[in-house]
């Protein structure tokens, strides 16, 4: 557009009594406030997304309840994010608020991405899109030592108000390397007793079958039956009264482990550390393809790793790994190998409790 065209356009607007801003008015699109929009997004996203971002959405609701989505600039959003970073709780495993900034920016971007989808704002007017998001830092989690896993299992199986339940939770994490969401969502219909398989429902909508030892399968079935059966709930893991567990059970178990074990508190140990430990062992003993399938990554190879599409591990290979891990024959295993990690040993009827614990006078019989 040359100078003459601009002059003509400006002259036409003046004759019509309009300004450039008026051209966007009257479209019928009313941009909502954060207080009005956040509940809409909260109801539209998966529960895991709410769990990840709700802390930050509540901050926005508190700080900018009456501001419309098209009002804040990228600089203002960045200032609010950095202000939160200055107020984060410093923990032993803190990384200078790096994760808080990354998650806060992602929480903003989630709100605006849904606003774009509903055509409440244009992509070019999305201020969150240009707010820098810190790149992910290398993970601090690593495989735990034999003695560390033994100590975690011992504390879970011998302390707390429901050690039988906590021992099952720990044992399920050890044998499947699943995330806690899969443990919470495990249902009676997800137990294939004949083949010793459990159906895991994990993040991203991934649903997969995973082998477990006959002992663990038997204990899962007995646990549900003793606590009300299918008449009480369809979930497998439940409290004594029959109420299914939620995220809080993992939180209280993690808090107890950290309170009893100073090294666990220093590392910030959680169920995800058990996942790292099992997957590290599987990768060392059976290779990357089996480890990826064990982790639930086999169905979605990362960029540059498409070969795994063709070399993915079979359920029989996973069953073999579980058989070696637990020292129990599995009905789907293809071969038998004698060695297994000491931290994964279990006696029949004692899922989650170690064979022996340094300093323990007797073997716990909680499960």
Q: At 308, is the pLDDT very low, low, confident or very high (cuts 50, 70, 90)?
A: low
For residue 46, is pLDDT > 60?
yes
Tokens of 339: 């060695």
As a whole number, mean pLDDT of residues 262-286 equals 92
For residue 30, is pLDDT > 80?
yes
- pLDDT value at position 335? 62
For residue 298, is pLDDT > 70?
no
Tokens of 103: 């998650």
Q: What is the mean pLDDT of the chain?
A: 83
Least confident of 119-123, 142-146, 211-215, 341-345: 341-345
Enumerate the CATH 1.10.443.10 domain ranges in the chain, comma separated.
146-344
**Residue range 150-184, pLDDT digits in tens:** 899 999 999 999 999 999 999 999 999 999 999 99
**Residue range 52-75, pLDDT digits in tens:** 899 999 999 999 999 999 999 999
- pLDDT value at position 72? 94
Residue of 98 and 243 predicted with greater confidence: 243
- pLDDT value at position 21? 63
As a whole number, mean pLDDT of residues 32-49 equals 93
Distance CA(338)–CA(327), nearest Å, equals 8
Q: At 341, is the pLDDT very low, low, confident or very high (cuts 50, 70, 90)?
A: low
For residue 118, is pLDDT > 90?
yes
- pLDDT value at position 26? 46
For residue 358, is pLDDT > 90?
no
Sequence-ordered strand ranges (E) for 114-258: 191-192, 197-201, 207-211
As a whole number, mean pLDDT of residues 113-135 equals 91
Q: Are 59 and 79 in contact (CB under 8 A)?
A: no
Please report, for residues 165, 355, 365, the alpha-carbon distance to residue 157 in angstroms, rounded to integers and kept in the order given.
8, 12, 8
Q: At 337, is the pLDDT very low, low, confident or very high (cuts 50, 70, 90)?
A: low
Q: At 2, is the pLDDT very low, low, confident or very high (cuts 50, 70, 90)?
A: low
What percent of the chain clears pLDDT 70, i.e. is strictly above it?
Answer: 78
As a whole number, mean pLDDT of residues 175-197 equals 95
Q: At 278, is the pLDDT very low, low, confident or very high (cuts 50, 70, 90)?
A: very high
Closest CA to 256 of 136, 356, 170: 170
What percent of the chain clears pLDDT 90, i.e. is strictly above it?
Answer: 60
- pLDDT value at position 344? 61
Bridge partners (DSSP) listed for residue 68: 33
Exposure b/e, 254-287, CB count within 10 A at least 16 = b: bebbbebbeebbebbbbbbbbbbbbbebbbebbe
Enumerate the CATH 1.10.150.130 domain ranges in the chain, comma separated.
24-130
For residue 29, is pLDDT > 80?
no
Q: At 47, is the pLDDT very low, low, confident or very high (cuts 50, 70, 90)?
A: confident
Sequence-ordered strand ranges (E) for 6-46: none
Distance CA(345)–CA(108), nearest Å, equals 46
Distance CA(217)–CA(48), nearest Å, equals 27
Q: Which of 79-88, 254-263, 331-340, 343-352 shows the highest mean pLDDT?
A: 254-263
Closest CA to 220 of 182, 178, 168: 168
Q: Are strands 207-211 and 191-192 parallel, antiparallel or unpaired?
A: unpaired
For residue 100, is pLDDT > 90?
no
- pLDDT value at position 28? 57
Write down the architecture of domain 24-130 according to CATH. Answer: Orthogonal Bundle (1.10)
Write down the architecture of domain 146-344 according to CATH. Answer: Orthogonal Bundle (1.10)
């Amino acid at each position: 557009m040359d100078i003459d065209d601009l002059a003509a356009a400006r002259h036409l607007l003046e004759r019509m009594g309009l300004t450039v801003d008026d051209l966007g008015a009257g479209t019928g699109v009313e941009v909502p406030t954060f207080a009005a929009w956040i509940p809409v997004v909260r109801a539209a996203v998966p529960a895991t997304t709410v769990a990840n971002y709700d802390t930050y959405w509540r901050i926005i609701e508190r700080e900018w309840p009456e501001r419309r989505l098209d009002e804040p600039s990228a600089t203002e959003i960045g200032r609010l994010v950095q202000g939160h970073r200055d107020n984060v709780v410093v923990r032993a495993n803190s990384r200078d608020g790096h994760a808080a900034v990354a998650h806060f920016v992602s929480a903003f971007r989630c709100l605006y991405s849904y606003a774009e989808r509903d055509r409440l704002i244009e992509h070019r007017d999305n201020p969150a899109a240009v707010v820098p998001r810190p790149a992910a830092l290398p993970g601090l989690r690593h495989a735990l030592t034999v003695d560390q896993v033994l100590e975690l299992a011992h504390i879970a199986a011998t302390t707390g108000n429901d050690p039988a339940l906590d021992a099952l939770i720990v044992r399920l994490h050890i044998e499947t390397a699943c995330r806690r969401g899969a443990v919470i969502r495990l249902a009676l219909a997800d137990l294939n007793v004949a083949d010793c398989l459990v159906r895991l429902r994990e993040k991203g909508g991934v649903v997969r079958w995973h082998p477990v030892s006959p002992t663990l399968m038997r204990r899962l079935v007995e646990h549900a039956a003793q606590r009300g059966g299918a008449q009480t709930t369809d979930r497998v893991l439940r409290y004594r009264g029959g109420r299914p567990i939620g995220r809080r059970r993992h939180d209280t178990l993690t808090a107890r482990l950290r309170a009893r074990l100073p090294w666990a508190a220093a590392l910030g140990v959680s169920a995800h550390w058990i996942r790292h430990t099992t997957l590290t062992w599987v990768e060392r003993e059976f290779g990357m393809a089996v480890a990826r399938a064990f982790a639930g990554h086999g169905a979605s190879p990362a960029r540059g790793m498409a070969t795994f599409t063709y070399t993915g591990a079979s359920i029989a290979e996973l069953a073999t790994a579980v058989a070696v891990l637990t020292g129990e024959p599995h009905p789907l295993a293809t071969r038998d190998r004698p060695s297994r990690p000491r931290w994964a040993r279990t006696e029949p009827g004692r899922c989650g409790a170690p064979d022996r614990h340094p300093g323990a006078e007797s073997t716990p019989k909680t499960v």
